[in-house]
């Protein structure tokens, strides 16, 4: 429940990155030793992954509120796919990790947010290039290999998931794997750094060519997850949208450049420090054009949040989705709040209105849900958001963090 109209003030500290941790926990399967992973966010996707690893026989425990100790030495090859895997998209990383460790993997077709068709042909192309046979039906994917041999893989589409999965499968393969046209997102660099900290040899992550030289084994160690670019961006946009003044802390400003640039264009004031950014939004905000793109472009995972802001910014905005086929489902919810938005294919034309009005709305997916929170914060009256389990998949204590900034927001336990 959000009562709108409060400007956000104060400081907020950003948690560890969801899209990094959902790759790093499965990556621990490859490690013949103990992994200590720090700065782990307490989100639903992490709990699901922990349960999946425990089902396979791993020992996983929090040693403090954000440090996870993972020991996968005892997991067995005969894992049976289960319903838990269907709960999250990132369960497909188990394919690359299990294939890398056991030369065999069986995983239930991933669930997660639905933005139209979500193919995994590029993941499969990579596994096959490494020497695996892959079989799939509507429910399960099975991959197996006599041996995995390093090779060159050119991705036809810049895919975060395929880049990560091929890295996972290649780390313990024989010889050198080169991934060309790789994705460059901060969480890809984070996974590479984690693997290298465990004894892998991965070079070039963060560029579009990644070179993985296979090693015999990974032997454990400690690693701290990077701050969440999208959580940070969500607070930055919320600060600007409400006309507030917020210091967003524990971030890597370099990762925020595309978001900062758009907020400046909208009319917010951005001040960058070493590991924090201040956002001030007290002037009039005006419409802008945005196209979402792979990193370092403006992130698709920040699209609903900025559309919520633009719905009351002065003038016309054009937001074009450049990654997913169908990521505007949440717009219907904004219309109920009085927004004037027309979606045509992959573009949304937004005519800024004077104000939004609180209404009952639904979180259609994780980031759509974050967009609803921002819309609720700027709306007149009360917004009731249902299906918040989507938001909990990826944001740690979202309502507590907003409340600490002065928002009138609370969780209703039904």
Q: Is residue 107 a contact partner of residue 141, using CB atoms and an 8 Å limit?
A: yes
Compare residues 160 and 359 and give the one whose CB is closer to ligand EPZ: 160
How many CB atoms are closer than 10 A to CB 157?
12
Residues 84-103, one symbol each (x = binds ligand EPZ by CB under 6 A, - = not), give -----xx-------------
Judged by CB under 6 A, which stretch of 98-106, 118-126, 259-267, 343-351 contacts ligand EPZ?
Answer: 118-126
CA distances from 176 to 142, 186, 341 (A): 24, 23, 49
Q: Which residue in 69, 118, 149, 411 binds ligand EPZ (CB under 6 A)?
A: 118
Told to judge if 72 belongs to the known catalytic residues of this protein, a careful annotator would answer: no
- Which window, 47-55, 155-163, 188-196, 339-347, contacts ligand EPZ (CB under 6 A)? 155-163
- Residue 175 Rama label (left phi>0; alpha psi -120 to 50; beta): left
Residues 186, 195: Cα–Cα separation, whole Å = 14
| Contacting ligand EPZ within 333-392 (CB under 6 A) | 366-367
Whichever of 212 and 313 has its CB closer to ligand EPZ, that residue is 212
Q: Which residue lies nearer to ligand EPZ by CB, 39 or 122?
A: 122
Q: Exactly one of 26, 161, 214, 304 binds ligand EPZ (CB under 6 A); which one?
A: 161
DSSP letter for each residue of 60-112: EEEEETTEEEEE-TT--S-PPP-HHHHT-GGGGHHHHHHHHHHSEEEEEPP-S
- Does residue 22 interact with ligand EPZ by CB under 6 A? yes
Binder of ligand EPZ out of 10, 57, 119, 345 (CB under 6 A): 119
- Report the residue number whose CB is nearest to ligand EPZ: 161
CA terminus-to-terminus distance, the chain = 12
| Using rule CB under 6 A, residue 304 touches ligand EPZ | no
Choose the stretch contacting ligand EPZ; rule: CB under 6 A; options: 112-120, 207-215, 302-310, 377-385: 112-120
Site for ligand EPZ, residues 183 to 212, rule: CB under 6 A:
183
Write down the least CB distance from residue 112 to ligand EPZ, Å.
7
Considering beta carbons, is residue 122 or 258 the nearer one to ligand EPZ?
A: 122
Beta carbons within 10 angstroms of residue 128's beta carbon: 15
Contact (Cβ atoms closer than 8 angstroms) between residue 326 and residue 351: no
Q: Does 180 bind ligand EPZ (CB under 6 A)?
A: no
Q: Which stretch binds ligand EPZ (CB under 6 A): 31-39, 121-129, 199-207, 239-247?
A: 121-129
> What is residue 32's DSSP assignment?
S
Q: Give the nearer residue to ligand EPZ in terms of CB position, either 160 or 378.
A: 160
Compute the least distance from the CB of residue 271 to ligand EPZ, in Å. Answer: 27
Nearer to ligand EPZ, 234 or 260 (CB): 234
Nearest-angstrom CA–CA distance, 67 and 41: 9
Torsion of CA 325, 327, 333, 334, to 10 degrees: -110
Label residues 165-188 b or e (16+ Cβ within 10 Å = b).
Answer: bbbbbbbbbeebbbbebbbbbbbb
Positions in 224-263 near ligand EPZ (CB under 6 A): none
Cis peptide upstream of residue 400 (ω within 30 degrees of 0): no
Taking CA atoms, 346 is separated from 303, 321, 339, 342, 343, in Å, by 12, 5, 18, 11, 7
Options 7-15, 68-76, 117-125, 374-382: segment touching ligand EPZ (CB under 6 A): 117-125
What's the farthest any 2 CA atoms get from each other in the chain?
63
Tell which residue, 205, 221, 172, has the closest CA to residue 37. 221
Q: Per the residue annotation, which of 30, 40, 113, 372 is the catalytic one?
A: 113
Give the count of residues interacting with ligand EPZ (CB under 6 A). Answer: 24
Using CB under 6 A as the criterion, which residues of the chain lie in contact with ligand EPZ when the complex forms?
19, 22, 89-90, 113, 118-123, 157, 159-162, 183, 300-301, 323-324, 366-367, 394
Catalytic (active-site) positions: 113
């Amino acid at each position: 429940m959000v009562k709108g109209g409060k400007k956000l003030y104060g400081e907020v500290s950003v948690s560890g990155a969801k899209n990094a941790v959902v790759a790093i926990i499965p990556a621990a399967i490859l490690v013949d030793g103990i992994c200590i992973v720090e700065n782990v966010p307490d989100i639903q996707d992490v709990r699901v992954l922990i349960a999946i690893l425990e089902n396979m026989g791993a020992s996983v425990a929090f040693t403090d509120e954000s440090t996870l100790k993972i020991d996968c030495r005892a997991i067995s090859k005969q894992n049976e796919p289960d319903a838990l895997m269907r709960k999250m998209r990132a369960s497909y990383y188990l394919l690359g990790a299990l294939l890398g460790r056991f030369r065999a993997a069986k995983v239930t077709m991933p669930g997660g947010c639905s933005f139209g068709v979500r193919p995994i042909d590029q993941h499969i192309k990579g596994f096959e290039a490494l020497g695996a046979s892959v079989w799939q039906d509507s429910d399960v994917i099975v991959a197996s290999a006599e041996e995995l041999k390093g090779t060159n893989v050119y991705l036809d589409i810049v895919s975060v998931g395929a880049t990560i999965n091929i890295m996972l499968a290649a780390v313990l393969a024989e010889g050198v794997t080169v991934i060309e046209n790789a994705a460059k997102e901060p969480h890809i660099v984070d996974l590479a750094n984690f693997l290298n900290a465990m004894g892998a040899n991965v070079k070039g992550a963060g560029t579009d060519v990644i070179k993985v030289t296979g090693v015999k084994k990974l032997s454990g160690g400690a690693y701290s997850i990077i701050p969440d670019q999208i959580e940070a961006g969500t607070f930055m946009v919320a600060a600007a949208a409400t006309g507030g003044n917020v210091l967003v802390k524990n971030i890597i400003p370099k990762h925020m450049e595309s978001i900062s640039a758009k907020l400046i264009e909208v009319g917010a004031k951005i001040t960058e420090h070493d590991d924090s950014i201040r956002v001030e939004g007290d002037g009039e905000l005006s419409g802008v054009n945005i196209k979402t793109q792979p990193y370092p472009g403006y992130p698709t995972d920040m699209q609903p949040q900025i559309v919520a802001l633009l719905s009351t910014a002065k003038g016309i905005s054009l937001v074009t989705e450049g990654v997913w086929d169908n990521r505007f489902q949440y717009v219907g919810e904004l219309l109920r709040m009085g927004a004037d938005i027309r979606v045509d294919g992959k573009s949304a034309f937004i005519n800024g209105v004077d104000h939004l009005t609180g209404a009952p709305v639904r979180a259609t997916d994780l980031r759509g849900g974050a967009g609803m929170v921002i819309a609720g914060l700027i709306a007149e009256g009360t917004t009731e958001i249902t299906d918040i389990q989507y938001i909990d998949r990826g944001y740690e204590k979202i309502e507590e963090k907003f409340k600490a900034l002065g928002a009138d927001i609370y969780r209703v336990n039904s």
